[in-house]
Chain A
Amino acid sequence: MIWPNQMESNVRPRLETRIGVSRTMVYATPVLALLLTMACGSILFAALGQHPPAVLYAFFIQPISSAYGLAELTVKATPLVLCAIGLSFGFRANIWNIGAEGQLTLGAIAGGGLALWAGEDAGLWVLPAMMLAGLLGGAAWAAIPAYLKTRFNANEILTSLMLTYVAILLLSYLVHGPWKDPEGYSFPQSRMFADSALLPLLTMGTRLHLGAPIALFVALAAWWVMARMFIGFQIKVVGLTPAAAGLAGFSVRRLTWITLLTGGALAGLAGLFEVAGPIGQLLPSISPGYGFTAIIVAFLGRLHPLGILFAGLLIALSYLGGETVQIELGLPLAVAGVFQGMLLFFLLATDVLVRYRIRWDRRSTIEEAG
C-alpha cells in the first residue's frame, strides 16, 4: 500500500518476511490468542452486565474443579479430538473437508442402526461391529466429496458442507419415521440401545467411556504417521507445494481420497461414540456442532496431533464453561460459540508473527539523506 507523504516521518509498523518460521511464535501464539480471547471475553461479559472475574471463574475454573467435571471434559473432548485429527490430515494436504458434522452424523446412523437392528439380545460382537460401521459410515459420506473432487473437480468445501445438511435431514427422517421408538410417546427418538451396544464406562459415577482412550490412541498414531511415515510426508508436500508432489510422483488424487476417507472415518467413529456413549440412542440432534468446532480445534492445535489433544480439551472446556455460565449466571449458551470464534480469530491474527516480524520504521524515504 502506498502511504501518504505526510506520514513519512511518523513511526509506523511494517511486516517483514522472516527467512524461516519462528519456532517460538509457533508455540507462543496459541497462548497469546487465548489471553486475548479472555481479555475480549471479559469486556463482552462486562457489557452483558456481569462481573468479569466471576464469569471467567465460572467459565474456565469451576467446570473442572471436580472429578466429575474432569470426566465431562474428557467426554466432550473425545469427539472434538477425533474429528479434528481427521480434518488435520486433509487441511495439511489442502483438502478442505468442512463436513465433519455430516460424516459424524452418518457414523452415528450406521453404527446406531446396527445397534437397533441387533436388538436386545445381541452378543459381545455388536460393539466392535458398531465401531466398524461408524468408521465405514463416516468414510462413505466423505467418499462422495472425494469422488466429486477427483472425478469432476467439484469444490470439496461446498460439497462436504451441503452433505452435512443432507445427513442431518436423513437422521431426522429416520428418527421421525422408520426408526422411531414405538413406545416413545411419539417423541422423535429411537429405542434405547441394548447394554451390549453401549460403550463401557471407565469410572463409576461419571460418563467417561471407552471412546476417550481410543481417541488418545488415535492422536498418538496420527502423530507417528505424520512424523515418521512416508505417507505423512506425502500429505505435507502436497499441501505445501502440489507441483513438487507431482514431480516426486505423489498422486494428489490418491492423497485426496486417503485424507478425506480418514477424516470421514474418524468423524464417523466420533458420532458412533456419541450415540453409543453419552446418548445411548438416536435423536434428531446428536452433536452440538462438534464437527464444525473441530475445525477450530484443528487450527488451534496447529494441525499437529498432540497440539490437537490440548486444543480439544480447551475447546471442550468452552462447552462446559458455556453450560456453567448458563446455569449459574443465566447467560446464553451461545457464549461458547462466540468464545470459540474469537479464539480462532485471535489465533489467525497472531499467526502473522510466525512468518513475519514487525518492524517499526522511523523513516523510510530518500528525502532524509538529501
Chain B
Amino acid sequence: MSPGDSVAIEDAQITSGTPPPEGAAASIIEGRSPWRLAYERLRRDRASLIALGVVALIILVAIFAPVIAALTGHGVYEQFRSTGLTPDGLPVGPNGQFLLGTDDQGRDVLVRIAYGARISLIVGVVATLLEVVIGTVLGLAAGYFGKVVDTVIARIIDIVLSIPFLLFAISLVSISKPSLTIVIVVIGVFGWAAVARVVRGQVLSLREKEYIEAARALGAGPWRIMFIDILPNIVAPIIVYTTLLIPVTIVIEASLSFLGVGVPPPTADWGTMIAGAQQIYQQAWWYLLFPSAALLITTVAFNIFGDGLRDALDPRAEQLYK
C-alpha cells in the first residue's frame, strides 16, 4: 500500500451495511431518517393502527357533527317534547328516530355526543398544546441554562404541582363565569409543570452530550443550541407525551364539566351529559352509557396510540431517553 491512499480508503461498503455492535442483534437500516424508521416500526404495530383509526373516526365525527345533525334532522339544542319524551316526561330509549335515545330534555343523544366530541377534542388538543409549549420552553430553559434559572423554574414547577387543581378550578370559576376559554387556560396553566419537568430531565442529559459541546466549540449561541441541537432530539418524547396527555386533558375537561365548572350548558359536552344522566340513569341507561362509552373509547384510543408511538420512536438502538 502506498502512502497517501489511506485518506480515501474507506470505501462504499456502507451500502452493504455497517457492522452491528458487538453482541447486539440490532442493526441499521440504510438510507432512512430516524422519522422514517419510526414510521416503519409504527406501520407494523396493529394495535396502534387500529387506535389511530378510532382517533381519526372521532375527529371525523366532531368535524361532521352538523352533518349528523342534518341527517337525523335533530338540532343539537332542539328539544323534542312530543317524540323525544315519554308521556311521563322521561327520555325515550334508542329507536328508529333517536338511534341512541334522548336525554332528559328530549334532545338527541347521538347528535349531542357528536357535538360533545368537538368540545372534548378542542379542549384536549388546544389545552394540551398550551401545556406542551409552555412546558417545553421552560423545561428547555431550566435544563440548558441551569443555575439560577433552573432553580427558579424548578421551584415554580414544584409549587404548581402541589396546588390542588380541582379546588383551584372550582374557586376560580366561582369568581368568573365558566367558559370554554377559562377551561382551556386553567388546564394549560396547571398542566405545563409536568411537561416542563420531563423536558428538563431530557435536556439535562442531552446537555452533557459531546455534540452540544461541539456546537459550542463552533460558536453556536444558546438559542441556536436549544432549538437546533437539543429540541430535535426531544421532539420524539414530547410527541409521545403530548399524545398521552390529550386523553388526560379530555378527562379533566369532562370532570370539570361534570362538576359544573367546565363548559356551561346548554353546550353539548360529554361531562355535562354524564352529570345529567346521574339523576335518571335507572330509567334511561342509554343517557349514561353512550357519553361514558364515547369518553372511554376516546381516551383508550389515544393511550394505545401513544404507547405505540413511544415504542416506534424509542427503539433501543436510538438514544432518545438516555
B is a partner of A: no
B residues with CB within 8 A of A: none
